[in-house]
Amino acid sequence: MNDLALAQTLREKIIADPEVILGDHDLMRALIAANQQAMGANVIDLRGVAMERLERRLDRLEDTHRTVIAAAYENLSGTNQIHRAVLKLLEPLDFHGFMAIVSGDVADILRVDKVRLVLETTRPGDEAALAGLGDALCLAAPGFVQDYMHGGQGRPSRQVVLRRAGDQAPSVYGEAVPVGSEALMRLDLGEGRLPGMLAMGAEDPGLFKPSQGTDLLTFFADVFERAMRRWLVQA
């Protein structure tokens, strides 16, 4: 097919279906640029300027739309993870099984490297009594939770703290796995009991950041502390 026949074929297709060009941003930009060149440098095409502004606005709207969709998908994925982890907490029939699930299945579902339950105690015999529960349980002196989460600066208003791990991290997670970031959840274990803390540690220093939302982890902490109260009553 020669150039003349090809041009005629393209012309007929464009006339029959102009949306082929109107829907193609690159073609429209090329046509607008050609039109501006044909008018010369002394003529300002206000329609072309308006279209360029509309295109930039459309690009921004599309970027915002993609960002919103990505955030909604991430939130839905996080919600599903928390729901699965909560269902796992309801499965065990004894406290040993509960702690095994916390350090095993729950950690896997939430994709963290370490999960530790920190309980404050004043009774020296507790450590020996709970020795068979593995390294998922960490006993500490009164005031440790407050000091670890907030540096001892008054009663915190936040139940959940997300941050990069500090120098104190090995006292909670041990030395075996380096922890780069952590999610800390303060636990209210009931009247007359010292507070506890559920700590999730990740090697990735960017997994938990202060700028992230905490609604899902707050819900998980609420469920966890209610489960703990049940086990403490039975103990």
Per-residue pLDDT reduced to its tens digit, 122-144: 766 555 556 566 678 888 889 89
Q: 78-234, which class in CATH?
A: alpha beta
Q: Quick check: 154 pLDDT over 70? A: no
Going from N- to C-terminal start, the domains of the chain cover 3-62, 78-234
Q: Quick check: 23 pLDDT over 60? A: yes
Q: Quick check: 96 pLDDT over 80? A: yes
Here the tokens at position 185 are: 């959840």
**Can you give the pLDDT at residue 162?**
93
Q: Among 198, 196, 203, which Cα is nearest to 219's? A: 198
Q: Quick check: 58 pLDDT over 80? A: no
Would you say 212 and 162 are in contact if contact means Cβ atoms under 8 Å apart? yes
Supply the DSSP symbol for 200: E
Mean pLDDT of the chain: 80
CB atoms within 10 A of CB 184: 27
**Can you give the pLDDT at residue 182?**
94
| Of 21 and 9, more confident | 9
pLDDT-derived band at 39 (thresholds 50, 70, 90) equals low
Would you say 120 and 140 are in contact if contact means Cβ atoms under 8 Å apart? yes
**Can you give the pLDDT at residue 186?**
94
**Can you give the pLDDT at residue 10?**
74
Overall pTM > 0.75: no
Q: Quick check: 85 pLDDT over 90? A: yes
DSSP 129-146: HTGGGGGGEEEE-TTHHH
Would you say 144 and 118 are in contact if contact means Cβ atoms under 8 Å apart? yes
**Can you give the pLDDT at residue 92?**
87
Residue in this structure with the two tokens 């960002």, named with its chain if needed: 67
